[in-house]
Chain A
Amino acid sequence: MIATFSINGRTRDVDVQPNQTLLDVLRDTLGIFDLKEGCSEGVCGACTVLLDGRPVSSCLILGLSARRRRIMTVRGLAGDGELHPLQQAFLRHGAVQCGFCTPGMLLTGLAFLERHPNADRAAIREALAGNLCRCTGYAKILDALEAYARELNGRG
């Protein structure tokens, strides 16, 4: 059936099968590869997108349930050629290795810090518990998120 999606501020009408996950709709039907498929069971967080500003594992929800809700992927972060300050923090702090977890880390971290701008490192760590990374050992990802939080608070 044809359903209307709002993806990174753009409206798209998509032919969606009722059994398709949001991940399948975005990756297979629309060719939006910003989100990655790491486990297909909601554990690794690589397929994270923001749904109305909240991080969700897109492999766990049906595509149709995201109709007319605001979907944001990593492409929605950067402005015209300008990286988002959180993306810049990831670069400066060496938070990226293979990059497969990076989209999910960015979106989960951003959503959390927008709600909790005064969060300390321990709280950010808890917020990342659903996003696995096999390369970095997390320290540099936390460095980047903490630096971005300081920036948000004008302490950067």
Chain B
Amino acid sequence: MRSKPTRASSTDVADAVGLERDLRLVGQRVIRHDARDKVTAATAFAADWAMPGMLHGVVLRSLYPSARIKNIDATRAASMPGVAAIMTAKDVPRNTLWTDVPGQTTAVGSLRAKLHVLAEDRVRHQGEPVALVAAETEEQAREAAEAIAVEYELLPGVFDPAQALEPGAPRVHEEGNLLAHWRVCHGDVAAAFARAAVVIEGDYRTQFVDAAYLEPESGVAWIDSDGVITIRVSTQVIEHFRDVAEVLNVPQNRVRIIGTYLGGGFGGKEDVTVEVYLGLLAWKTGRPVKMVWSRQESLLARAKRHPFRLRYRTGALRTGQIVAQEIELLADAGGYAYLSALVLLYATVTAAGPYRVPAVSVDARVAYTNNVPTSAMRGFGAMQVVFGYESQMERVARALGLSPVEMRKINALSRGDTLPVGQVVDTHVALPELAERAWAALGELTPPRAPHVKIGRGLACNFQPYGRIVWLHDWSSAWVGFEMDGSLVVRSGVPDVGGGQASSLCQIAAEVLGVPLEQVSVYIADSALTPLAGTTTASRQLYMSGNAVLKASRELCEQLLKAAAAVLGVDRDAVGLADSAVRTADGRSLPLPELLHACSRMGVPRSHLGVYHAPAGEPVDLEKGAGKVFPDYTYGAHAAEVEVDTETGVVKVLKLVAVHDVGRAINPLSVEGQIQGGAVQGLGYALMEDVVVEKGINMTTSFASYLIPSAVDVPDVRAIVVESGEGLGPFGARGIGEPPIGPPAAAVANAIEDATGARLSVLPLTSERLARALGLM
């Protein structure tokens, strides 16, 4: 099957604001500047960097998931050849990294999540950093790290979040194992269940998975000639310069982070990775230091996606209308908090799905264990719950004899509805259309290739917030300015994770300012030299920094056109910028360089700094359902066709159609790429990916044992881009980074049930699990 990307404006969005037409570059399938650099391998990734006199840094990690550190003896290691520095917790000026988590419930209390830079008197998970070594070569550094004698006293551990919450469980942290607890209580759930004609109960489990970007965590740090600690690193968050400064106890303006183009992030490079260690070693030795984590190290110790246990009880009327959802979530945080409380908040807010449900209760908890820590990963809690709510939707539809599409149409949210947390949906929801189109695009049913092979189809929808929680008061800034020759410069502190974040900014600026895309240079992700733009996380960068660039470009356009009108002696309304020139209504033109020189003479600035503030709000009490939590949501529908070998339980996905209302596709090539790539990550989650952790020991620390989809494991995903123009981003765009990863697991599970009658409720949906469900073993 050839992938046939389809792009069409939404036809069923009568109440949408409509798309701005007559755009020259926005909406075009433009070739990204970074792609040109990448096909020639000109891009210098973080590990493709070297400095004269550079040392190599490594991390010594805990062998055990739960132990007391009785003593660390580094005398032998320190005397080994090439060793320049060894650091343990006592050598770190401030050994704690903090994450503020807003709005905890009284059950837990307010929380400042903390993490030790290096372990002090105990370790809480296998792979926890214990010591640092810098040496002349990486080999010498590794040998010295192995020679550090760490005396451990093993402690009892707890490896299951339910057991962690039982009385008497070993305490991972002094304050207890309940890390966060969120509740939603909306409507009279008991009364609603009493009205229901059908009640379906489900108990689902999802697994640990790894972000598995192909580029391991890496960077180089040096003390620059001005004394500033400078760290060139692969990160989604250049604002971690503040964390490095905090740890080193130096002013924040003495640390600079230069973010590289990333070899993938997917949330795994949102928390700090190597930058704090690099900062410490460069500060300690005064020399440049490089640190590259191995794949095995990354798989062993980096934060994973949270495993969830999801219990659903869903009540519906005979008509198919869902009247009640009772949901219990329990997630595994592993040994440290990282962003777990926020991930759980996303899950709590989205747990009932993109549906109008009059009565909802959610009780969500996340507990510390001595497993590998969990934190941000594409989808951020709003993903795990899709497997729960879309499995339930399918089962209710089957119980009532409704088609999957009808079931979604009956229950889909629409503008004006209120989410269980009290947020009013104030943009268009194209869900019925998305579901219809996904289902229809599956086309003819594939005939089974043998009598024991069964074909089935499944549908799953989702919604994913884009932009940060409104009470975090998110903002971004961008500088747009012309050089004297009419070439354009964009500066914004945006990390580009590979999604085309930087290129989209160029498209927007070039569109507004009437220059060819080739005349734009963009400088990104330098905490000292580019205006700060916030994190490349939460599907926020196009929305936030796209708006900042749009604002800067429009203001710049306005100040230049005012000057042009004065130069040409016409009204402001009679001039415009196009093809690198000022054009007047009466057919005259003034080349841009001439206008720019005139601006210099007149004292009119040739640049503008734009700051975009997202709609902000005060923290809401989720339980009481008081208001807005996220700026907006992106909606999607995926339809899958699978073949199941009923003699072996082997599942093959034959077709996957992924439809999302992206508001507006700035670059359809990039949007389709996000959808196809996200959906394939979702298929990996559905079918094969599984970080196996046994009593805290990670059994899958290589790409030979932690399997991600290869080209032969997945079909070509057909991406269908719907544009309602209803997003809060530039030109009506919505975020599309995270949303496509959500639906595949549920769509495949629903298709397997369609093919075989067997309902699988534990991810991944392996042939072994299906064989058991089919009674084959």
Contact = CB atoms under 8 A, between A and B. Distances in A.
A134 B214 contact: yes
A21 to B, nearest CB: 12
Contacts of A46: 214
A70 interface: no
Given A37-B47, A74-B41, A98-B264, A132 B676 contact: no
B673 A94 contact: yes
Interface string B23-46: 000000101101111111101110
Interface in A18-57: 31, 33-41, 43-44, 46
Contact of B38 (A41, A44, A99): A99
A98 B48 contact: no
B669 interface: yes
Contact of B35 (A33, A96, A131, A137): A96
A143 B718 CA distance: 12
B708 interface: yes
A117 to B, nearest CB: 19
A16 to B, nearest CB: 15
Interface string B286-299: 00000010111000
B498 interface: yes
A128 interface: yes
B677 A135 contact: yes
Interface of B: 2-3, 29, 31-32, 34-41, 43-45, 47-48, 50, 212-216, 261-264, 266, 292, 294-296, 497-500, 669-670, 672-673, 676-681, 702-704, 708, 710-712, 714, 716-717
Contact of B261 (A35, A38, A99): A99
A83 interface: yes
CB-based closest 8 A-B pairs: A98-B498, A99-B38, A100-B263, A137-B680, A94-B669, A33-B48, A137-B676, A139-B3
A153 B556 CA distance: 50
Given A134-B266, A137-B677, A137-B714, A100 B214 contact: yes
Interface of A: 31, 33-41, 43-44, 46, 73-75, 77-78, 83, 87, 90-94, 96-103, 106, 121, 125-126, 128-143, 146
Choose among B2, B32, B34, B676 the residue with the greatest number of A CB atoms under 10 Å from its CB: B676
A43 B44 contact: no
B565 to A, nearest CB: 40
A32 to B, nearest CB: 9
Given A94-B670, A99-B261, A134-B266, A36 B45 contact: yes
B65 to A, nearest CB: 24
Contact of A41 (B48, B216, B261, B703): B703
B39 A96 contact: yes
A48 to B, nearest CB: 12
A38 B214 contact: yes
B605 to A, nearest CB: 35
Contacts of B34: 96, 99
B673 A129 contact: no
Given A36-B45, A98-B261, A134-B681, A91 B214 contact: no
A134 B212 contact: yes
B702 A41 contact: yes
A87 B292 CA distance: 28
Contacts of B45: 33, 36, 100
B704 A41 contact: yes
A44 B263 CA distance: 13
B262 A90 contact: no
Given A97-B673, A99-B34, A44 B40 contact: no
Given A44-B214, A97-B673, A99-B498, A91 B294 contact: no
Contacts of A102: 38-39, 41
A146 to B, nearest CB: 8
B673 A33 contact: no
